[in-house]
Every structure is written in structure tokens, then in C-alpha cells.
Amino acid sequence: MSSAAVRRVLVGLLVANLAVLAAKVSVGVVSGSLAVLGDALHSSVDAIYNVLGLIVVRVAAQAPDENHPYGHGKFESLGVLAVVVFLSITCFELVRGAVQRLAGGGHAIEMSDQGLAVLVGTLGVNVFIAWYENRRGHELSSELLIADAAATRTDVFVTIGVLIGVLFARQGYLWVDPIIAIAVAILMVRVGYQIFARTVPVLVDERAIPERVIRQTAQGVDGVKSAYDIRSRGGHGAGVRYAEVTIAVDRDANVAAAHAIADKVEERLKQELELNTVTVHVEPC
């Protein structure tokens, strides 16, 4: 993963997300729509995520040191979990406000045609952001960008729901606005869960590649009698994947020959299984 490229993407997205956030907040305050303000809160996650990402990616890009011999890549995953915490707090506040408004009999919404046009414009921006960020995230193998793209895709559906709610509220159906706000909160919980489910396997070193696949690939190298004690970690979106394997070679092979076989195993595992770092241990049999 190129940290410089990821940072450039995040800076551009931050500018776009701040513009969307400012537009939604302005429309929400002027119209008094809780659903629009909830949508703005949801959009604020994107902006916060971008700022956090700029910080975390810089830290994650640091070279391995004495205290972090495997590098700092997991700091990116920790940053992702911080966004999940923020999402949880935001959802609670949004639901609480919506319930209070429902109990109070609703609230009049004063949404102008200009306000509706602004919301439609933010919708178009979010569609582009979600597409671009997801594409660049996969190109750069950035967990942070891919997770944020998922949140932005939800933002698209949230804005569509808010627009529908506002149209109903303008016709006097005051209960629709807080109901839409609650629906927004539910979608945010879903996004938070998806991000959490994607990040935790990386943090707990879930197996990146099935053991049998690594074994078959290693045993396909001439001179390897068997492969065992196989481990891998990294996972999808982690950017870097590691593997360890022990190979058994002919006990009569000299050190140079055994080392050459190990090099071939390492090269094949990296090429065929897209591993970044492979440690091969040699044992005679």
C-alpha cells in the first residue's frame, strides 16, 4: 500500500465531505428537519474518518522498529474501530432526539425548493465519492479507504430516505421526519457492524490463507518432501499478508541446496498467493 497515495485520496475526499457536511447542516438548521440533521451527522463521520485516516496512515507507514518489529500497519485498523465508537454515540443521540420529537407530536418542517436542490446535489457528490473511494481502496489495498467507502454508500441511501421524508413532511405528515431519523440510525448501526466485522479479523491475526493451499503450493516445489507448521495472517484489506511454513527436504542435501529450495518456496508463495513476507524453515527428513 502506498501511504502517500492514500493520503492524497483522503485529502481530496476530506474537502468534498466537508462541503457536503456544510450543505446538509445549513439545510437542516434552516428547515428544522431532524432527519436532515441526522444525515449531516452521518456525513460528519466521513469527514472525521478522513482526518483520522490522515493521522493513522502516517503512523501506519512508519518502518518497523524495536517495539513494533512487524511494522505499524495495525494502527490503521485501530483508527477504523475509533470510527465505530463515534458511530455508536451518534446513533444513540439521533434516536433519543427522534423519540422525543415523536412523543411531542412532531415538528413542522420548512424545506424550500432550494434546500431540496442542495440535498439532491449532495446526493450526487456522495455517489461519486463512494465509487471513487472504493476503487482506489482496492487499488491501494487500503482497509481505511474501503471501510469509508462502505459508510459513504450508506450515506447515499440515507440521503435518499431523508429526501422522501422531507417531501412527506412538507405535506403535513410530521411523524415521518423522526421516523426517517430512526431509520438513519439503524443504517448507521449496520455500517458500524460491517466495519467492525471487517477490522477485527485483522487485529486478532485471523488466518489469511487456508493451510491446505499453502501446503499444496509449497509441496509443488521440487525437493520439498512435505510442508507443515503453517501459519498466515493479514487478511483481506490488511495491505500486508505474512506466512510461515516449515519444509522437509532430503537429509542428504547440503546447506546450499536446502537454502536454494527454501528460496524457491518463498518465491512461489509470494507470487501465487500474493503474500508480502514469507518465512521458510528447513528441516531434514
Q: What pLDDT is attached to residue 68?
A: 64
Q: What pLDDT is attached to residue 13?
A: 85
C-alpha grid cell, residue 274: 500474493
Amino acid in the structure at residue 264: K
Q: What pLDDT is attached to residue 264?
A: 93
Q: What pLDDT is attached to residue 107?
A: 55
Q: Determine if residue 281 is left, alpha or beta; phi over 0 gives left, psi from -120 to 50 gives alpha, anything else beta.
A: beta
Helix 34-60 and helix 143-170, axial crossing angle in degrees, nearest 10:
170
Are the beta carbons of 134 and 237 closer than 8 angstroms? no
- The rounded distance, in Å, linking the Cα atoms of 232 and 245 is 9
Please say whether the dihedral angle defined by the alpha carbons of residues 15, 20, 23 and 25, taken in this order, is positive or negative. negative
Q: Facing residues of 142 across strands? A: none
Q: What pLDDT is attached to residue 69?
A: 62
Q: What pLDDT is attached to residue 237?
A: 45
In the chain, which stretches have pLDDT less than 70?
1-2, 60-61, 63-64, 68-74, 76, 79, 94, 104-111, 204-205, 235-239
Whole-Å CA distances, 158 to 138, 182, 192, 197, 255: 24, 11, 14, 21, 63
